[in-house]
Amino acid sequence: MWNVLLSFSGLVALIQLIFLPFFPESPPYLLLQKEDKAGCLKAMKQLWGEGNYQTELDDLMKEKAVTKGTKIMNVLEVLREGSVHPQLCTMLLLLLSLQLCGLKIFETANLQESIIPYVSLGVSISELISIIFCSSIIDRFGRRALLCGGYLLMALILVLLETSLLLSDQFLWLRYCSVILIFLFIIAYGLGP
């Protein structure tokens, strides 16, 4: 029944699509992008209830003044912009390495086919744990500390992962450690990068 569990995310997406039209646009989007001050105030009242939102509106107006000269680019413009190519390449390599890393580990671990759905579920749970944990600590530590810590933790996990893969033929239990290290890598990735 793992295919039913996997299709559950499609059901959640469908529910979101049905209810999305009933939610207001983001107040910052309405003010900064659409320049609709009345719509922004209406969205604030719809989201947060009746009240005086002059302070929030003033903050958004300050942000608008700061970003006035900044051009908003679409995806194709970002891809054409040479100054962001190093960052795009880094992110692409990181995402590809995540995909290939997981496939190789599960292949190397020689897991029984009946266990693979549980491993996939474990990967999803690891992602969920990292999202919940990161959202609760990001304000306390800041993005820079989480990025640095996340990358350091990922590097350490990758060293341990490579070691466990090299020794997995001699010690069979290290194959399962490799899978656990993949879960930890996903959590570290979610905490930082």
At 15 the pLDDT is 86
Number of domains in the chain: 2
Asked if residue 84 and residue 40 are part of one domain, the reply reads: no
Q: What is d(CA 92, CA 69) in angstroms, rounded to the nearest whole number?
A: 29
Choosing from 32, 51, 69, the residue where a domain stops is: 69
At 91 the pLDDT is 73
Asked if residue 87 and residue 48 are part of one domain, the reply reads: no
Asked if residue 102 and residue 55 are part of one domain, the reply reads: no
Tokens of 89: 């390449």
Asked if residue 81 and residue 65 are part of one domain, the reply reads: no
Per-position pLDDT tens, the chain of length 193: 656 665 676 777 788 888 888 888 888 888 887 888 899 889 889 888 888 888 888 888 888 888 777 776 777 887 888 888 888 888 777 666 655 555 556 666 666 667 767 777 777 777 777 777 777 777 677 777 777 788 888 888 888 888 887 887 788 788 778 878 888 887 887 777 7
Q: Which domain holds residue 63?
A: 1-69
Choosing from 44, 69, 94, the residue where a domain stops is: 69
At 70 the pLDDT is 73
Helical segments of 23-115, H only:
27-28, 37-48, 54-66, 75-80, 85-108
Asked if residue 112 and residue 38 are part of one domain, the reply reads: no
Q: What is d(CA 124, CA 79) in angstroms, rounded to the nearest whole number?
A: 30
Asked if residue 82 and residue 60 are part of one domain, the reply reads: no
Q: What is d(CA 2, CA 140) in angstroms, rounded to the nearest whole number?
A: 38
Asked if residue 165 and residue 135 are part of one domain, the reply reads: yes
At 22 the pLDDT is 86
Asked if residue 50 and residue 108 are part of one domain, the reply reads: no
Q: What is d(CA 104, CA 164) in angstroms, rounded to the nearest whole number?
A: 13
Q: What is d(CA 177, CA 181) in angstroms, rounded to the nearest whole number?
A: 6
Q: What is d(CA 185, CA 126) in angstroms, rounded to the nearest whole number?
A: 9
Asked if residue 185 and residue 94 are part of one domain, the reply reads: yes
